[in-house]
């Protein structure tokens, strides 16, 4: 181990860098989670979260990873043997499907090439064909973190509406919430699944479910067994400002601070900042002569970019070199793109110079790894940051 000086650039697409203010907020004495001070905290956070999800209904907070909030969305709305329509956008869609299979759900997994977002046409066709309404839910990932592709959720909803099919719409926003515009109510989403450690700028450890009325109604009939994840007990306790079991108190201190930061900057401005940094990154990738894994420009992710290496070059070797020489972890290729891509996280607490440093680290690493590329890709990214062109 060599001694490191300066800060590590944590440029994986989550966990993202945690702001100093948030770390300081977490670093407070833990309080009684059944006392009056805690009650105030719960009430403020639950109101703030609705603004981030753009929803009028309740938002549930679990002390969990994002994976827990996936499971919660399924077990609270579905019954054993129910059919669910899911879409293979990438590795996170695969993992979510695996949970559904373990619960005995009948999964129809629409195949994908990991380079495009959700196509609403086959969803519409399958719902039209499902005359008996055996499909109880459509579940999609908004921002597929394994590929850097963002799907059009409003289009999925419109396709579902055209069929008049009653299926619920479940959407994973774990790596888009707080980075990319998201509208639970306007887009007619029934359960939105979130996590703390990406755009919300917190350490890992909180999972979210934002609920529509229809989802709450479905939960009263859903037959899958659940206890820890049961919405009902949490909704009841939340009304009094409490939780049915010990919440992650100090992470909630951090959440309040992170929400304040987002509102102070203004969510609109936060989204514009992410769009700028993503575009600057794409310009660097293009100028290096490398390929974005995402093929459709309308679906480019603003929270991360997945970069494809030329055939015969191992992306994991590149990442290891960059970590060793420049102390910057980048995201690995997951599942079937392992070794073929690396992922640059440009989400959360990030400014121009952090992004410039990130891109410089990648450019230096490409040189070290002997990957064929055109040097100087950082320059068009910097010009774009300065001139917006």
Ligand X SMILES: *Cc1c(COP(=O)(O)O)cnc(C)c1O
Residues in contact with ligand X by the rule CB under 6 A:
14, 65-67, 92, 141, 145, 172, 174-175, 195, 204
Residues near 126 by Cβ (< 8 Å), separated by ≥ 6? Answer: 85, 108, 110, 135
- In angstroms, the CA 310 to CA 79 distance is 46
Query: For residues 228 and 247, is the Cβ–Cβ distance under 8 A?
Result: no
Residues near 221 by Cβ (< 8 Å), separated by ≥ 6? Answer: 79
DSSP 123-160: HHHHHHH-TT--EEEEEEESEETTTTEE--HHHHHHHH
For ligand X, give the closer residue by CB, 140 or 309.
Answer: 140
Alpha carbon separation from 267 to 51, 53, 329, 364, 370 (Å, rounded): 9, 11, 27, 33, 41
For ligand X, give the closer residue by CB, 64 or 238.
Answer: 64
In the complex, the smallest distance separating the C-beta of residue 213 from ligand X, rounded to whole angstroms, is: 25
Choose among 334, 360, 83, 78: nearest CA to 223.
Answer: 78
Q: Which two tokens stand for residue 363?
A: 């450019």
In the complex, the smallest distance separating the C-beta of residue 255 from ligand X, rounded to whole angstroms, is: 15
In the complex, the smallest distance separating the C-beta of residue 384 from ligand X, rounded to whole angstroms, is: 26
For ligand X, give the closer residue by CB, 296 or 383.
Answer: 296
In the complex, the smallest distance separating the C-beta of residue 117 from ligand X, rounded to whole angstroms, is: 12
For ligand X, give the closer residue by CB, 66 or 178.
Answer: 66
In the complex, the smallest distance separating the C-beta of residue 351 from ligand X, rounded to whole angstroms, is: 22
In the complex, the smallest distance separating the C-beta of residue 32 from ligand X, rounded to whole angstroms, is: 28
For ligand X, give the closer residue by CB, 210 or 378.
Answer: 210
- In angstroms, the CA 135 to CA 138 distance is 8
For ligand X, give the closer residue by CB, 174 or 180.
Answer: 174
Residues near 22 by Cβ (< 8 Å), separated by ≥ 6? Answer: 201, 202, 254, 257, 258, 261
For ligand X, give the closer residue by CB, 138 or 378.
Answer: 138
Edge-to-edge strand list for the sheet holding 341-345? 291-292, 304-308, 341-345, 331-332
Kind plus residue range of the DSSP H or E element containing 345? strand 341-345
In the complex, the smallest distance separating the C-beta of residue 65 from ligand X, rounded to whole angstroms, is: 3
Q: Which two tokens stand for residue 80?
A: 């054993």
In the complex, the smallest distance separating the C-beta of residue 367 from ligand X, rounded to whole angstroms, is: 30
Residues near 345 by Cβ (< 8 Å), separated by ≥ 6? Answer: 10, 11, 12, 13, 14, 16, 303, 304, 330, 331
In the complex, the smallest distance separating the C-beta of residue 88 from ligand X, rounded to whole angstroms, is: 13
Apex 345 CA angle, 341 and 350, nearest 5: 160
In the complex, the smallest distance separating the C-beta of residue 346 from ligand X, rounded to whole angstroms, is: 14
Q: Phi-psi bin for 93: left (phi > 0), alpha (psi -120 to 50), beta?
A: alpha
Dihedral Cα 273, 65, 230, 186, nearest 10 deg: 20
For ligand X, give the closer residue by CB, 203 or 339.
Answer: 203
Kind plus residue range of the DSSP H or E element containing 99? helix 91-102
């Amino acid at each position: 181990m060599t001694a490191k000086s300066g800060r590590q650039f944590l440029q994986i697409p989550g966990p993202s860098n945690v702001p100093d203010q948030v770390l300081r907020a977490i670093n407070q004495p833990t309080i009684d989670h059944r006392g009056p001070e805690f009650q105030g905290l719960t009430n403020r956070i639950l109101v703030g979260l609705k603004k981030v999800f753009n929803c009028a209904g309740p938002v549930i907070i679990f002390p969990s990873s994002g994976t827990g909030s996936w499971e919660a969305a399924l077990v609270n709305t579905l019954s054993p043997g129910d059919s669910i329509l899911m879409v293979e956008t990438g590795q996170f869609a695969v993992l979510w499907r695996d949970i559904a299979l373990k619960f005995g759900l009948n999964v129809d997994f629409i195949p994908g090439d990991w380079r495009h977002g959700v196509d609403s046409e086959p969803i519409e066709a399958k719902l039209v064909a499902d005359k008996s309404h055996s499909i109880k839910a459509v579940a999609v990932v908004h921002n597929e973190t394994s590929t850097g592709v963002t799907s059009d959720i409003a289009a999925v909803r419109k396709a579902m509406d055209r069929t008049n099919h009653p299926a619920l719409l479940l959407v994973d926003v774990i790596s888009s919430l707080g980075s990319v515009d998201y509208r639970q109510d306007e887009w007619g989403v029934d359960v939105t699944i979130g996590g703390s450690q990406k755009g919300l700028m917190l350490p890992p450890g909180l999972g979210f479910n934002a609920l529509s009325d229809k989802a709450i109604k479905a939960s009263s009939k859903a037959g899958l067994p659940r206890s820890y994840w049961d919405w009902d007990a949490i909704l009841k306790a939340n009304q009094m400002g409490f939780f049915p079991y010990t919440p992650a108190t100090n992470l909630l201190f951090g959440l309040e601070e992170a929400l304040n930061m987002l509102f102070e900057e203004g969510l609109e401005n936060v989204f514009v900042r992410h769009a700028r940094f993503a575009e600057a990154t794409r310009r660097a990738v293009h100028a290096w002569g490398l390929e974005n894994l995402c093929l459709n420009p309308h679906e480019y992710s603003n929270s991360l970019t997945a970069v494809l290496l030329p055939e015969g070059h191992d992306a994991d070797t590149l990442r290891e070199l960059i970590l060793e020489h420049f102390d910057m972890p980048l995201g690995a290729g997951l599942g079937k793109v392992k070794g073929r891509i690396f992922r640059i996280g440009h989400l959360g607490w990030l400014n121009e110079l952090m992004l410039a440093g990130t891109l410089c680290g990648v450019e230096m690493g490409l040189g070290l790894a002997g990957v064929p590329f055109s040097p100087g890709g950082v320059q068009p990214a910097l010009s774009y940051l300065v001139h917006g062109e």
